[in-house]
């Protein structure tokens, strides 16, 4: 009775039967194709999320740079000519860092747009393609027609060597999870760098403001002293005239 069992009865539960294989010859509707389609969709969603995040970061950085420029112009318009070089030097440092950060974000944004375009066209992004080619687990499994044409072994059991590689979808899924984790770490690193740069910008602006306030205090003190000296001089001249 064991030798008269159908070949499909000995297949593992995660492998489709001969009936399902024969019905899938007309189109890519097997588990592997469904897994690949879901993986491509997940990759597109991840890249779109990355593009939205970088676009928002770019908008914030440009707005911050514009705000620093406005603050610089206000300080220069109110500052004494001796204060202007110090204020300009502090502003140039801040502006250089902001421009470098914006250029870096724009470069990463272009890369993400290119990856999304390749995914939408049905191609794997170049980075993932190189990773897949170097992975020996991505060898192409035998076709479904070849599986159907293989005769059973004399013992009635199917040949396990001709079964599709069920580990391939899991390899693709683990690669997608690794890509997501890399993007998340890169996002956190960018956010951390942005916070450090913004903190440094705020500290330098506060230092410039404190320097400006101290110069204003010195200016007012000198002005009051000169007015006092002038008043004393006028009084002494008036006394000389009365004599």
| Polymer length in residues for the chain | 243
Average pLDDT over residues 158-173: 45
The reported pLDDT for the residue numbered 225 is 83
Query: What gap in Å lies between CA 59 and CA 186, rounded to an integer?
Result: 19
Q: What percent of the chain has pLDDT over 70?
A: 59
- List, in order, residues 6 or more apart from 162 with CB less than 8 Å away: 142, 146, 147, 150
| Residue position matching structure tokens 């003190």 | 221
Q: Residue 227: which pLDDT band, with cuts at 50, 70 and 90? A: confident
Mean of the pLDDT values across residues 12-17?
43
Q: What is the pTM of this model?
A: 0.39
Q: Where residue 94 falls among pLDDT bands split at 50, 70, 90? A: confident
**Tokens 């010195």 sit on residue:** 218
Residues 6+ apart with CB under 8 A from 111: none
pLDDT of residue 102: 92
Give the pLDDT of residue 31.
45
pLDDT at residue 5 greater than cutoff 90: no
Mean pLDDT of 142-170: 43
User: What residue segments make up the domains of the chain, in order of their start?
Assistant: 31-134+175-208
User: Which residues have CB under 8 Å from 219's CB, separation 6+?
Assistant: 80
Label residue 166 by pLDDT band (50, 70, 90): very low
pLDDT score at 1: 40
Confidence grade of residue 204 (pLDDT, cut at 50, 70, 90): confident
Mean pLDDT rounded to a whole number for the chain = 68
Q: What is the pLDDT of residues 51-83, one digit of tens each?
A: 999 999 899 999 988 988 888 888 888 888 888
Contacts of 95 (CB under 8 A, 6+ apart): 65, 68, 69
Cα(first)–Cα(last) distance of the chain, in Å? 144
Cα 13 to Cα 34: distance, rounded to the nearest angstrom = 17
What SS3 state is found at 24? coil
In this predicted model, what pLDDT tens digit does every residue of 97-142 receive, in sequence order? Answer: 889 999 999 999 999 999 888 888 875 545 444 444 444 444 444 4
Question: Could you tell me the CA-to-CA distances from 89 to 61, 64, 230 in Å, in that order?
Answer: 20, 18, 37
Q: What is the pLDDT of residue 189?
A: 73
Place of tokens 């008036």: 238
Average pLDDT over residues 34-55: 79
- Residues 75 and 129: beta-carbon distance below 8 Å: no
């Amino acid at each position: 009775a064991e030798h008269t069992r159908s070949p499909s009865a000995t297949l593992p539960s995660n492998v489709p039967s001969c009936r399902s294989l024969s019905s899938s010859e007309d189109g890519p509707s097997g588990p592997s194709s469904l897994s690949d389609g879901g993986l491509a969709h997940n990759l597109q969603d991840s890249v779109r999320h990355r593009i939205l995040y970088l676009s928002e970061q770019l908008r914030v950085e440009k707005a911050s740079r514009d705000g620093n420029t406005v603050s610089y112009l206000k300080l220069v318009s109110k500052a004494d000519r001796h204060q202007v070089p110090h204020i300009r030097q502090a502003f140039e440092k801040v502006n250089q860092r902001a421009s470098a950060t914006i250029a870096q974000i724009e470069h990463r944004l272009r890369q993400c747009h290119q990856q999304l375009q390749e995914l939408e066209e049905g191609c794997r992004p170049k980075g993932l393609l190189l990773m897949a080619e170097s992975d020996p687990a991505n060898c192409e499994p035998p076709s479904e027609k070849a599986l159907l044409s293989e005769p059973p072994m004399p013992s009635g059991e199917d040949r396990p060597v001709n079964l599709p590689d069920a580990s391939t979808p899991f390899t693709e899924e683990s690669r997608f999870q690794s890509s997501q984790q890399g993007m998340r770490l890169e996002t956190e690193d960018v956010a951390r760098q942005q916070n450090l740069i913004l903190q440094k910008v705020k500290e330098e602006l506060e230092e410039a403001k404190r320097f400006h306030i101290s110069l204003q205090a010195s200016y007012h003190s000198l002005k009051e002293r000169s007015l006092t000296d002038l008043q004393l001089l006028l009084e002494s001249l008036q006394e000389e005239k009365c004599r």
